[in-house]
Structure 1
């Protein structure tokens, strides 16, 4: 009789993105020995900040720049990134929606100020996003839960009244009735643009849910930008993991289960397809087939700019927002997203823009500053997005070309070169539909556990889906603690007084 090999670690986490590190920190805090394996030479996954060599001293956020969920996420709330020295600054305007024929619509942190700028839709905005912002915790719990448990916030009298409002807003904005309750183009475009943080057809329930969540947070804790870049959040996680005995190895690509040291539990911060490849022929056939069937969505193509000055927005209020959603009217955005879904690159793609130097002057060196942008394109598109994005910004900021010093465009087909999880440029690790958000990557009761193998999936390919919030990793890690180690009392994530 052969003797099974001794476990080298209690748990191994494959991938050091926000979810992988959230899982690793949770497990290490519970007293387990943890090893993180990262294929790239730097840690942080989609939340890295790197010097791309475009200009001296200029750092670029590789995937995400602004962080709407950094202060609202229950995981990051318990981890308390601010107490760990991460400076998160929320600008006075969370996001802006420039328009061609009228002044831009601005989502100020102050819901009343936002409503006051929407004319005939002031009352409707107060009654929807304004009201939901007062119950932000409920909206966050409904949106970022594991889609299998009843949110605790639902059982309180105060939030029982807010849940139907959240559901009604999703129902209206996610269906052909999406012209209600707003009557003006400015209000409709403002709410639609925030849904552009997901990529998909409009209207849709999933993009409506994105609008409701991020729109609510915009008037709550706001959309902070981390001083020094996204890497500062990842560095705080890495520091805590190391302080609790965790080990991290970079440049270690896991292609099969043989590339992972023996462990009682393994968590994969990877795509569903990669999980199937790593565990090929070791999973029940129906599960492996389901993982391989989980479809990727359409894509983002990224352009990193170096500018000699701020973007010269036609409407100066747009410059006060941490993020700009460029797509024009609701009808124009819907038409562009329909083109993407049909496999065509739109002439005017939905484009997101963020200048971190708005709240972080340390990002400016020698009078130069970075500008983060991406545009929605079909999956796997090989088109260099630089001119597309430049035209779209110039549309709302005449003279933008004059402040461009240099740039680097990354086609959707090449996005996976710096992050293997961005297959074909799919930044959401799967289609963004309501069904795919609930049943990702499968409709099983436990979407994280990969059968009775001791292996788990903890990436954005599981509920609650994409975003820098760490919740997928946290949900998966807590299941690992209960199911593999019999630990029922979840660890405290708050900073140690001695740290």
Structure 2
């Protein structure tokens, strides 16, 4: 570990840690980025999990928010090797009658495929798609400064509602199922406030920027960020797992890309009793169970649109999805869970040997569940892609406990860094006018446990770094 003094040290090289380190270095500070693993990236890592030559994304895999992130889009990452691959269809949602709702890059084409729900979809999304580009800096901040109050209010009125309430806009099974799958990314019951906001952002992102994958795997996004950081003089140290702040080199500020649980373990003795008590009330949410597959051929979905989609939401009707998410939130594993599935090798041939394919899926599970969910996930796949199991060459699984062992930020398998419901959305990690500051001078939190929350966009790290620059420098 380097012992020379730095202006700033950043612990953790996920998207937010990298964003924080880059922002501080852009301001002219000397910066050291520290990563506990030998491989940088946090949730953006890719590995050969199944067979040689098959590249799998360990966690994050589909990147609409990375493409539209105000911070990432400000960097010349294409010059550092970043390239996206776009699916023909952003996401598909198959139903038991053989039909499928389809989310396309084109707003009009998506609406045209929803039958009698064409106009309700346009009424919901048309103005929103126009508003999102100018609203992004506000929506992806701690406390939005209403530069566009009418547009922000218009979005807020829809976003704050429950997904169950907003589903009443639609009458067809297709549109309702599509909406349910979008809102289920919130990882909470669909009758909770703010679940609509997650669904609206994801659908809006598809119409603005598609749902791309990163060529070569999500690791390539991490590598591009690290390459840019190095090109402007940033330093990095991998393979050093910080257990105490005293192990760090001398610096004026330390930014931690960790969740409250890890912050308490690493810096608990440096924090005030009141702040510690508030951090201990921070709530984590559902976990995930994930399967990666090496396949001998593309997945044989019954509906042809699903064979052209980058992401497929497996869950049937809105009611079925809502029921499974509520069971999981109540601590019970679902026999027919909502499954998020992706097939990146259809659009990025570098992911597998010629003629072969990779795919992955995960379902939500109760926090910390170690029970194997491979059967229920593959049953759901067979439901809409008969013969799927016959295409499998190899599989790799990670339960919720193994997710946390792989990355301590995924407490109980929670990949969002904490529940993002209406209450905790505005109090990540505590209710404060400056949520990135801790009670210790010069110590900041920059993870997805701070605003604006989960997702690969880097904005938590960016805002934390800006706060540190204003406070200290």
Contact 1:104 1:186 in 2 (8 A): yes
Compute the displacement of 1:324 (Å): 1.0
Match of 1:97 in 2: 93
Q: 1:38 aligns with which of 29, 35, 38?
A: 35
- Residue number in structure 2 paired with 1:9: 6
Residues 446-489 of structure 1 deviation map (CA, whole Å, 9 limit, x = unaligned): 0001124200000000000000000000000111111111xxxx
Q: Measure, in 2, the Cα distance between the counterparts of 1:30 and 1:38.
A: 22
Shift of 1:370: 1.5
Q: Residues 216, 299 of structure 1: CA spacing in aligned structure 2 closer, same or farther, 3 A cutoff? A: same
The answer (yes or no) to whether the contact 1:141–1:151 under 8 Å persists in 2 is: no
Structure 2: runs of 5+ lacking an equivalent: none
Are residues 1:397 and 2:385 paired? yes
Map Cα deviations across residues 174-232 of structure 1 (whole Å, 9 max, x no partner). 16533432222211111121122221111223321110111111111111111101111
Q: Structure 1: how far apart are the matches of 2:84 and 2:53?
A: 21
- CA RMSD, 1 decimal: 1.6
**Contact 1:303 1:374 (8 Å CA) reproduced:** yes
Contact 1:130/1:219 (CA < 8 Å) preserved in 2?
A: no
* 1:7 CA drift (Å): 7.0
Match among 413, 419, 441 for residue 431 of structure 1: 419
Post-superposition shift, 1:121? Answer: 0.7
- 2-structure distance, mates of 1:336, 1:110: 30
Aligned residue for 1:274, secondary structure, equals helix
Task: After superposing the two structures, state which structure 1 stretch, 136-145 or 191-200, moved more.
Answer: 136-145
Give the alignment partner of residue 168 of structure 1, picking from 145, 157, 161.
157
Q: Residue 205 of structure 1 aligns to a residue in which SS?
A: coil
Contact 1:326 1:351 in 2 (8 A): yes
One of 339, 359, 362 as aligned partner of 2:347: 359
Residue in structure 2 matching 1:127, options 120, 123, 129: 123
Q: Which deviations, in whole Å up to 9, do the C-alpha atoms of 1:220-279 show, x marking residues without a partner?
A: 111111110111111111111112222111111111112221110000000111112211
1:317-332 map, 5 Å: 317-332=305-320
Q: TM-score, normalised by structure 2?
A: 0.96
Contact 2:146 2:152 in 1 (8 A): no
Conserved 8 A contact 2:101-2:175: yes
Is structure 2 residue 255 aligned with structure 1 residue 267? yes
Structure 1 match to 2:47? 50
1:79: Cα distance to partner?
1.5
Is 2:197 aligned against 1:209?
A: yes
The answer on 1:143 being equivalent to 2:131 is no
Report 1:14-413 matches (<5 A): 14-52=11-49, 54-146=50-142, 148-152=143-147, 154=148, 160=150, 162-172=151-161, 174=162, 177-413=165-401
Q: CA deviation at 1:139?
A: 4.6
- For residue 84 of structure 1, report the CA deviation from its aligned partner: 3.6
**Aligned-partner Cα distance in 2 for 1:82–1:132:** 28
> Is 2:98–2:302's contact at 8 Å kept on the other side of the alignment?
no
In 1, the alpha carbon distance for the partners of 2:179 and 2:381 equals: 20
Distance 1:149 1:32, change over 3 A: same
Distance (whole Å) between structure 2 residues aligned to residue 368 and residue 362 of structure 1: 10
SS of structure 2 residue aligned to 1:135: helix
Aligned to 2:128, the other structure's residue is in SS state helix
- For the residue of structure 2 that corresponds to 1:309, the secondary structure is coil
Determine the structure 2 residue equivalent to 1:483.
471
**Match status 1:422 vs 2:410:** yes
For structure 1, the 5+ residue unaligned runs are 1-5, 486-499
Q: Is residue 138–residue 163 contact of structure 1 (8 Å, CA) maintained in 2?
A: no
Contact 1:380 1:413 in 2 (8 A): yes
- Are the equivalent residues in 2 in contact too, given 1:139–1:166 (CA < 8 A)? no
Structure 1 position 37, deviation (Å): 1.2
Q: Secondary structure at the match of 2:254?
A: strand
Q: What secondary structure is seen at the aligned counterpart in 2 of 1:74? A: coil
Q: Greater shift after overlay, 54-63 or 73-82?
A: 73-82
- Aligned mates of 2:372, 2:396 — CA distance in 1: 9
Alpha-carbon distance in 2 for matches of 1:299, 1:442: 22
CA-to-partner distance for each residue in 1:332-382, whole Å, 9 max, x for gaps? 001101110111110011111111112111212043221121111000001
Partner Cα distance (2:243, 2:324) in 1: 37
Indicate conservation of the 8 Å contact 1:386/1:408, yes or no: no
Q: Deviations over 1:308-334 (max 9, x none)?
A: 111111101012221111111110001
SS in structure 2 of the partner of residue 352 of structure 1? strand
8 Å CA contact retained: 2:163, 2:192: yes
